[in-house]
Amino acid sequence: MSHDQAFWLPFTANRAFWKSPRVITGARGHYYTTDDGRQLLDGFSGLWTCGLGHCHPKIVAAVQEQVATLDYAMGFQVTNDKAIALAREVAALAPAGMGKVFFTNSGSESADTALKIALAYHRARGEGQRTRLIGRERGYHGVNFGGLSVGGIPGNRKVFSATLLPGVDHLRHTYSAADMAFSKGQPAWGAQLADDLERLCALHDASNIAAVIVEPVAGSTGILVPPIGYLQRLREICDRHGILLIFDEVITAFGRVGAPFAAARFGVTPDIITTAKGLTNGVVPMGAVIVRDGVYDALMQGPEHVVELFHGYTYSGHPLAAAAGLATLAAYCEEDSFARARAVEPIFEEMIHSLREEAKVVDIRNVGLMGGIELAPRPGAVGARGFEVFLKCFEAGVVIRNGGDVLQFSPFLDSTPDELGRIFDTVRQALRTVT
């Protein structure tokens, strides 16, 4: 038997895929090359990952040099120079007072790491009864058991329902079509939805709750932008009850919302920030969990020779990933990428909302360079219409993504008006031919 189709693709309809495979073999700047020699304009920056463009020359050079200098060094009780340097740079970019950085290899690992740090923190302070974790409906925190448990995407949870973590509850999600459809940027309505946390504090007793984890802007679930004042109110409630606030910024960090972090954009500082994707421009897998100094300090107890946190990955702070991260952060700075993204945002906003009158469009949402166009589902075939628009765009030379019937956009931080115009013209044509 041939093993030509041995690869089991993640989050993919595998049988349909192998009937007409879509295979990328190269990339440069804003374009992919396919195995049949076509050039595709990437409207999704990889998978929210590559805001600086593909094969950025300085990142490529840094990785090439690193792999020939230090391939790997033991990461427990020993480390490498690049990991130390990258932690320093990440901390310098982070909100004031968030000065400690724990490295992982992905967003999923970042989410599980953050939840474990929160539990360890409370225990170290003598509040070991604080074990409950609060997520939010429609939240995505990766696919490992911790992140899946606090996550709120029904399709991801269904099969694993009985084996999710106990002691988890969820805030209601922040979407209400009747109150916020076609909002540009943050919806004016909905700050009061944060009060749902007070309901859970009353139900479980706040003294049992360790942490609340939310995406500042929910990405995978179809771009849910936080209502004005919502994140501030979550912060206030957490402070009132001694609960740690975790922002999952795997998508929103490093320029995606026109700032180093969504925390900076929205003016709310959490206790822990999880990142991945844009940390290395997607070039080498890596995540980072950024922690408020006081949380770290609370854990630095006991005899000095004893490990303070029994957690870590073989590849935490991998030198190749750290070299990519250092070059990536330098490029963001040199190219003024976050301010550029902020400057592109109004053009992106105007163009995405120009699709409002197209048939089948029921909502359009955006903030920073994150955008979603929600389509009415085809009766009896939820998600089919969104997937067909994705396919039509791919055939027409533009890569977008669909999460069910929400078309998703994540253009490069230095996108030009012409590129954005081509992306949305292609989507418009696809919408006019899809049934």
Burial label, 220 (beta-carbon count in 10 A; 0-12, 13-18, 19+):
buried
Pick one of 140, 266, 390, 424: the residue that binds ligand PXG (CB under 6 A).
140
Between 73 and 143, whose beta carbon lies closer to ligand PXG? 143
Site stretch for ligand PXG (CB under 6 A), options 69-77, 117-125, 230-238, 243-251: 243-251
Query: Which residue in the shown chain puts its C-beta closest to ligand PLP?
Result: 314
Pick one of 42, 112, 196, 215: the residue that binds ligand PXG (CB under 6 A).
215
Q: Return the one option of ligand PLP, ligand PXG, none that residue 215 interacts with (CB less than 5 to 8 A, by type).
A: ligand PXG
Pick one of 145, 189, 313, 394: the residue that binds ligand PLP (CB under 6 A).
313
Residue 314 as a binder of ligand PLP (CB under 6 A): the answer is yes
Contacts of range 260-265, beta carbons closer than 8 Å, 24 or more positions apart: 260/93, 260/94, 260/332, 260/338, 261/93, 261/94, 261/95, 262/216, 262/217, 263/95, 263/216, 264/95, 265/216, 265/368
Rounded to whole angstroms, the Cα distance separating 207 from 202 reads 10
User: Which x/- pattern, by CB under 6 A, does the window 270-309 give for ligand PLP?
Assistant: ----------------------------------------
Residue 315 as a binder of ligand PLP (CB under 6 A): the answer is yes
The C-alpha angle 81, 86, 88, rounded to 5 degrees, equals 100
Residue 111 as a binder of ligand PXG (CB under 6 A): the answer is yes
Residue 401 as a binder of ligand PXG (CB under 6 A): the answer is yes
Residues 6+ apart with CB under 8 A from 78: none
Residue 325 as a binder of ligand PXG (CB under 6 A): the answer is no
CA distances for 34 relative to 22, 50, 55, angstroms:
8, 18, 15
Q: Return the one option of ligand PLP, ligand PXG, none that residue 314 interacts with (CB less than 5 to 8 A, by type).
A: ligand PLP
- Quote the least distance from Cβ 278 to ligand PXG, whole Å: 11
Site for ligand PXG in 249-308 (CB under 6 A): 250-251, 276
Packing angle of the helix pair 319-334, 57-69 (nearest 10 deg): 150
Between 25 and 314, whose beta carbon lies closer to ligand PLP? 314
Site stretch for ligand PXG (CB under 6 A), options 140-148, 158-166, 189-197, 299-307: 140-148
Contact (Cβ atoms closer than 8 angstroms) between residue 191 and residue 233: yes
Contact (Cβ atoms closer than 8 angstroms) between residue 317 and residue 80: yes
Residues 6+ apart with CB under 8 A from 375: 360, 361, 362, 385, 386, 389, 405, 406, 407, 431
CA 170 to chain centre: 19
- Expressed in angstroms, the distance from the first to the final Cα of the chain is 39
Q: Return the one option of ligand PXG, ligand PLP, none that residue 315 interacts with (CB less than 5 to 8 A, by type).
A: ligand PLP
Pick from 306, 237, 313: nearest CA to 74: 313
Q: Return the one option of ligand PLP, ligand PXG, none that residue 134 interacts with (CB less than 5 to 8 A, by type).
A: none
Q: Return the bridge partners of 134, or none.
A: 169, 212
Residues 6+ apart with CB under 8 A from 227: 174, 180, 186, 187, 188, 189, 190, 191, 193
Between 75 and 285, whose beta carbon lies closer to ligand PXG? 285
Between 10 and 37, whose beta carbon lies closer to ligand PXG? 10
Residue 107 as a binder of ligand PXG (CB under 6 A): the answer is yes
Q: Return the bridge partners of 232, or none.
A: none
Between 206 and 212, whose beta carbon lies closer to ligand PXG? 212
Q: Return the one option of ligand PXG, ligand PLP, none that residue 276 interacts with (CB less than 5 to 8 A, by type).
A: ligand PXG
Number of residues lying near ligand PXG (CB under 6 A): 20
Pick from 331, 319, 290, 324: nearest CA to 82: 319
Site stretch for ligand PLP (CB under 6 A), options 27-35, 311-319, 335-343, 380-388: 311-319
Rounded to whole angstroms, the Cα distance separating 222 from 157 reads 17
> Which residues are at the interface with ligand PXG (CB under 6 A)?
11, 47-48, 106-108, 111, 140-142, 215, 219-220, 248, 250-251, 276, 401, 403, 408
Which residues contribute to the site for ligand PLP (CB under 6 A)?
A: 313-315
